[in-house]
């Protein structure tokens, strides 16, 4: 009876390799959880005797499954020729995640608030300058409209 309803190893191997190669970490989720999932898939692959020639293949697939925020880590890892075990790689990724979490909020908030405020102030100053220069010009002057200053639709020239 057990043999009748047993799933062949080939099917299991197919679904595990599909899950491993298709895994993608979602931006903002925990790299530790993603790493643990990838390690469990590697263990299942090895248990099913799906073994690649080198451990580096597992490392490559794990690195490819990371979101764009880890691109700098991947570049450094490859440029420095690091050869770490899978567990060491996951630990390095967890440390990297901690550093980007510490630096990201302060940089993003600071840039967004200051650049927007500077843009508003610069726009006001430019409008004042444009108004005074257009009224004081003695020769024929062309009115300059600040970018985004005009209301309505603009016609496109082909």
Mean pLDDT per block of 10 residues along the chain (158 residues) reads 63 92 94 95 90 85 96 94 91 93 59 52 55 46 45 48
- Residue 89 to residue 84: CA distance in whole angstroms: 6
In contact, 112 and 49? CB cutoff 8 Å? no
> What is the pLDDT, as a whole number, of residue 61?
95
Environment class of 19 (CB within 10 Å of its CB; exposed 0-12, middle 13-18, buried 19+)? middle
> What is the pLDDT, as a whole number, of residue 146?
47
Classified as helix, coil or strand, 6 is: coil
Answer positive or negative: Cα dihedral of 22, 45, 94, 83: negative
CB within 8 A of 141, min separation 6: which ones?
133, 134
70 DSSP assignment = G
> What is the pLDDT, as a whole number, of residue 3?
58
> What is the pLDDT, as a whole number, of residue 108?
47
Q: Please report, to the nearest 10 degrees, the dihedral formed by the alpha carbons of residues 76, 80, 85, 86 taken in order.
A: 20
The token duo for 77 is 């890892």
């Amino acid at each position: 009876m057990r043999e009748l309803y047993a799933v062949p190893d080939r099917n299991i191997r197919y679904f595990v390799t599909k899950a491993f190669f298709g895994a993608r970490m979602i931006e903002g989720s925990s790299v530790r959880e993603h790493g643990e999932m990838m390690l469990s898939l590697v263990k299942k692959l090895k248990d099913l005797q799906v073994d690649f020639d080198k451990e580096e293949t597992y490392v490559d697939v794990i690195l490819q499954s990371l979101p764009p925020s880890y691109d700098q880590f991947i570049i450094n890892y490859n440029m420095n020729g690091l050869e770490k075990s899978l567990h060491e790689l996951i630990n390095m990724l967890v440390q990297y995640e901690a550093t980007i979490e510490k630096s990201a909020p302060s940089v993003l908030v600071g840039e967004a608030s200051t650049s927007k405020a500077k843009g508003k102030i610069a726009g006001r100053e430019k409008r004042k300058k444009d108004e005074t220069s257009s009224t004081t010009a003695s020769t024929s002057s062309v009115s300059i409209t600040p970018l985004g200053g005009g209301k309505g639709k603009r016609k496109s020239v082909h």
